[in-house]
Amino acid sequence: MANNPNSVETAEAILQDLKARAQKAHEDEDVFLMGILTELIAVASPIVNKAISRQLRESRAKINADHKALRAKLRESKQ
């Protein structure tokens, strides 16, 4: 999905901006803009959440792989 961790952060920032604009539209009682922003948030939110989850899974996988390599290295040194 996103090879660059900054891409995920940028996507999060875009989603937060959409939510802030929706809040502003609500305060301004702008029904038209609020409808557009609601639809954009509905589309963007799951995409961003998937990207965040993937980034976290990849991070955990790297930690697990590093731990596995360290254990293997320790076993090799004991032999």
DSSP annotation string for 49-77: HHHHHHHHHHHHHHHHHHHHHHHHHHHHH
Give the global pTM: 0.75
Domain count, the chain: 1
Q: Return d(Cα 74, Cα 79) in angstroms, integer.
A: 9
Closest to 13 in 3D by CA, of 58, 56, 59, 51: 51
Q: Which range marks the domain in which residue 74 is found?
A: 5-78
pLDDT in tens, the chain (79 residues): 456 778 999 999 999 999 999 999 999 999 999 999 999 999 999 999 999 999 999 999 999 999 999 999 999 998 7
Residue 75 identity (one-letter amino acid) = R
